[in-house]
Copies of this chain bind each other. A is one copy, B any other.
Amino acid sequence: MTMYVPKLEKDIRNPLEAGLASFEGKWKTRVICALTQTPNLRYSALKSAMGNITDAVLTTTLKELTADQIINRIQYNEIPLRVEYNLTKKGRAAIPMLSAICQWTQTFNPEWGQVKCGCGTANCLFDLKNH
């Protein structure tokens, strides 16, 4: 019933800060990565892709990404209920940006350069350590 409402408004001053806020927190980029590798994922598939996330945290993450127009929530009123998530146009437009950050890190911190993703997916964005 009582949704969480922060007492202090965040102090976001420009479009850069607004953009970065879309990716902050522990799970958002991981959800984006999963949806990049597999375009349509159900709640349960997303949850197991995240590994050890709890429902409360996954739900919050998905709501924030939806509010930021980075993912779509598509509900099929079947029984049992089916819900799928995928990237919006804005979400897909973020992929090159995130890749650029990834490469920037690997360029200047070569210790990251050796870590290769083992997922075998051709369009995988990220080089994951635990994957």
Binding site for B on A (CB under 8 A): 11, 13-20, 23-24, 26, 29-30, 33, 69, 89-90, 93-94, 96-98, 100-109, 112, 115, 125-131
Contacts and interface: CB of A to CB of B under 8 A. Distances in A.
Sorted from nearest, which 4 A-B pairs have the closest CB atoms?
A15-B105, A19-B101, A15-B112, A19-B105
Given A100-B100, A105-B19, A112-B18, A129 B13 contact: yes
B23 A11 contact: no
A20 B20 contact: yes
Nearest to A128: B14
Contacts of A94: 104
A131 B15 CA distance: 13
B93 A15 contact: no
Given A13-B128, A100-B100, A105 B29 contact: no
Contact of A127 (B15, B97, B105, B125): B15
A93 B125 CA distance: 20
Contacts of A100: 96-97, 100
